[in-house]
């Protein structure tokens, strides 16, 4: 993607991130790059002094380095957190693509919808009755938005996103292609002749600065809402069931599945392909390893790191796994001991 880029001097970039310029602050930079591929006009970063050697041959115009690192470049920006500075400089050099405000004539917008004049609506979108889309939002091609939806300022809805009726998005929410928000939760009650749907009549609320990956599904609540807190980031193909409550700044990697009524508190980090039974509670800042499985109703304590199926503390998981790998040795040891005991018993019997 040839993202549009903006030229800045090293001095301006250093100021933006609160870093210190070493060398020529007037050097012009116009894009971010990896150490290996950076050439003239590019800025790269070295997170760790141990990796500085890789940087010695870099042709970057500027390197972002940790304090005290002496790298061989036209200019340096010294800062305590180079990777963070790099991300923030990328925001400056590669601003999001701009879209011309206006509603594409092939889109279908309900008469009662209220779309701010600064909103971009691409081709073949559909926006339902009484839905409101606030300033600066982008609604890309093929997006379908139901009735009574609220889309906050500067949201970006990539192509073919679906918002069912009455979903609410805060500001600066980004939904990648095909994300599906507000489908019915999966709840049935067995009757005599088959299943009846348990009512799935509540909604989904997504707070500010949330980003949601492609084809991720977040179901509407049954009787109470499904909730995604501010600043939470969710990867592709994740399943979030009805009545789940996710706090702020939670990170959830791809293909994880979260069953009904789970609570994930602020700052938790959930790996990929994790599965949680219903009514699980992950307390603040806990970390769940990829592929972990969590039984229904389990409470994971704040700040702990948990792995495995079913989850255990990482240390314990590692220890058990090591034992598991030595099971054949253990069996051998046991058989050998059995033989020794047999011999001892025989010798003892002889003596009698």
Applying CB under 8 A, the span of 54-62, 68-76, 161-169, 297-305 interacting with its own copies comes to 161-169
The smaller minimum CB distance to its own copies, of residues 70 and 197, is found at 197
323 is catalytic: no
Return the ∠ at Cα 157 (arms to 174 and 285), rounded to 5°: 20
Applying CB under 8 A, the span of 48-56, 58-66, 70-78, 270-278 interacting with its own copies comes to 270-278
Is residue 305 a contact residue for its own copies (CB under 8 A)? no
Is residue 184 a contact residue for its own copies (CB under 8 A)? yes
Work out how close the CB of 146 gets to its own copies at its nearest, in angstroms, rounded to a whole number: 8
The binder of its own copies chosen from 18, 67, 95, 199 (CB under 8 A):
199
- Considering only residues 224 to 263 of the shown chain, the ones binding its own copies according to CB under 8 A are 224, 230-231, 233, 235-237, 239, 241, 248-249, 251, 253-255, 257, 259
The binder of its own copies chosen from 23, 102, 159, 313 (CB under 8 A):
159
The smaller minimum CB distance to its own copies, of residues 70 and 336, is found at 336
Is residue 50 a contact residue for its own copies (CB under 8 A)? no
Is residue 321 a contact residue for its own copies (CB under 8 A)? yes
Is residue 51 a contact residue for its own copies (CB under 8 A)? no
The smaller minimum CB distance to its own copies, of residues 290 and 304, is found at 290
Q: Could you tell me the two tokens for 179? A: 């994300």
Look-up of token digits 């999001």? 96
24: exposed, middle or buried (C-beta count within 10 Å: 0-12, 13-18, 19+)? middle
The smaller minimum CB distance to its own copies, of residues 24 and 293, is found at 293
The smaller minimum CB distance to its own copies, of residues 68 and 191, is found at 191
Candidates 158, 176, 227, 242; catalytic one: 242
For 227, phi then psi, to 5°, come to -135, 130
Kindly determine how many residues on this chain lie close enough to bind its own copies according to the rule CB under 8 A. 116
What is the x/- site pattern for its own copies, positions 58-87, by CB under 8 A?
-----------------------x-xx-xx
| Under 8 Å between Cβ of 300 and 313 | no
The smaller minimum CB distance to its own copies, of residues 59 and 124, is found at 124
What is the x/- site pattern for its own copies, positions 98-127, by CB under 8 A?
------x-x-x-------------xxx-x-
Query: Of 161, 136, 13, 165, which is closest to residue 76 (Cα–Cα)?
Result: 13
The smaller minimum CB distance to its own copies, of residues 94 and 284, is found at 94
Is residue 135 a contact residue for its own copies (CB under 8 A)? no
Applying CB under 8 A, the span of 21-29, 50-58, 64-72, 153-161 interacting with its own copies comes to 153-161
HEC string of the chain equals CCCCCCCEEHHHHHHHHCCEEEECCCCEECEECCCCCCCCCEEEECCCHHHHHHHCCCCCCEEEECCCCCCCCCEEEECCCHHHHHHHHHHHHCCCCCCCCEECCCCEECCCCEECCCCEECCCCEECCCCEECCCCEECCCCEECCCCEECCCCEECCCCEECCCCEECCCCEECCCCEECCCCCCEEECCCCEEECCCCCCEEECCCCEECCCCEECCCCCCCEEECCCCEECCCCEECCCCEECCCCEECCCCEECCCCEECCCCEECCCCEECCCCEECCCCEECCCCEECCCCEECCCCEEECCCCEEHHHHHHHHHHHHCHHHHHHHHHHHHHHHHHHHHHHHHHC
Is residue 6 a contact residue for its own copies (CB under 8 A)? no
Work out how close the CB of 297 gets to its own copies at its nearest, in angstroms, rounded to a whole number: 13
Residues annotated catalytic, as ranges: 242
């Amino acid at each position: 993607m040839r993202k549009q880029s903006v030229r800045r001097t090293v001095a301006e970039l250093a100021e933006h991130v609160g870093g210190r310029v070493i060398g020529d602050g007037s050097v012009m930079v116009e894009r971010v790059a990896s150490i290996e591929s950076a050439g003239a006009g590019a800025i790269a970063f070295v997170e760790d002094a141990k990796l500085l050697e890789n940087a010695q041959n870099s042709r970057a115009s500027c390197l972002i380095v940790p304090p005290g690192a002496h790298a061989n470049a036209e200019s340096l920006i010294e800062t305590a957190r180079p990777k963070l500075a790099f991300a923030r400089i990328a925001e400056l050099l590669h601003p999001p693509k701009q879209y011309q405000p206006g509603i594409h004539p092939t889109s279908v917008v309900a008469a009662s919808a209220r779309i701010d004049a600064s909103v971009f609506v691409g081709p073949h979108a559909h926006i339902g009755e009484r839905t409101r889309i606030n300033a600066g939002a982008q609604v890309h091609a093929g997006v379908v938005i139901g009735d009574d939806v609220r889309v906050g300022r500067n949201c970006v809805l990539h192509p073919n996103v679906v918002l069912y009726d009455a979903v609410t998005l805060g500001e600066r929410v980004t939904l990648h292609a095909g994300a599906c928000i507000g489908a019915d939760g999966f709840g049935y009650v067995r009757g005599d002749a088959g299943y009846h749907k348990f009512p799935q009549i509540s909604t989904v609320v997504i707070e500010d600065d949330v980003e949601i990956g492609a084809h991720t599904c977040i179901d509407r609540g049954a009787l109470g809402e499904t909730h995604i807190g501010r600043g939470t980031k969710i990867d592709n193909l994740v399943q979030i069931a009805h009545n789940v409550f996710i706090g702020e700044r939670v990170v959830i990697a791809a293909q994880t599945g979260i069953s009904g009524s789970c609570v994930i508190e602020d700052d938790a980090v959930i790996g990929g392909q994790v599965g949680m039974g219903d009514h699980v509670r992950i307390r603040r800042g806990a970390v769940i390893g990829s592929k972990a499985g969590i039984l229904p109703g389990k409470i994971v304590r704040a700040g702990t790191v948990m792995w495995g199926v079913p989850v255990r503390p990482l240390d314990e998981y590692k220890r058990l796994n090591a034992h598991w790998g030595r099971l054949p040795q253990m069996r051998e040891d046991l058989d050998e001991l059995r033989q020794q005991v047999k011999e001892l018993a025989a010798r003892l019997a002889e003596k009698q």
